Amino acid sequence: MPGIDECLLEAMRLPGARGAALVDWTSGLALGSVGEFPGGDHEAAAAEAAEVARLTAEQRAFTPDGYDRHEHADATAGPGAGVDPPVEDLIISNRDSYHVLRFVPTSFDSSVFLHVWLGRPDGNLALARIRLGEMAGRLVLG
């Protein structure tokens, strides 16, 4: 099971990867980062991505029908344990790149996501979604 650094290095092997980070959406802090980031500032990119992630995950319009946060809590981890996020991922596209934010279920407060910045000419969104989902499932935090 990979840790943060291994996971980010694996993300950088995706076609078109420019940068990758693991971000806490509550604080907006990058728990780890590698590569380039828009504007050249990985902390600013993490804070801005966290704001988008938080706003999306907290909106009922984007949750599955019948989703109940309490039903998705990890019962094996005890009281106050994390929950599965209601949103799997976000894809933001612009003229030259894609940003893929993949929410990571955790055994604590589920407020972490992987952010990968892909160049549009050689980025592959389908592959990025699949691989980030696999990485999120294997990631070991703590």
Q: For residue 108, what is the domain's CATH number?
A: 3.30.450.30
Other Cβ atoms less than 10 A from the Cβ of 109: the count is: 13
The pLDDT value recorded for residue 76 is 41
Q: What percent of the chain has pLDDT over 70?
A: 83
Q: Are 38 and 121 in contact (CB under 8 A)?
A: no
38-53 tens-digit pLDDT = 889 999 999 999 999 9
Q: For the chain, what is the domain count? A: 1
User: Higher confidence at residue 127 or residue 71?
Assistant: 127
The pLDDT value recorded for residue 70 is 52
Q: Are 109 and 85 in contact (CB under 8 A)?
A: no
Residue 23's closest CA among 96, 97, 117, 95?
117
Tell me how far apart the alpha carbons of residues 81 and 107 are, in angstroms, rounded to a whole number.
6
76-95 tens-digit pLDDT = 443 333 556 778 999 999 99
Domain span at 39? 4-138
20-30 tens-digit pLDDT = 999 998 899 99
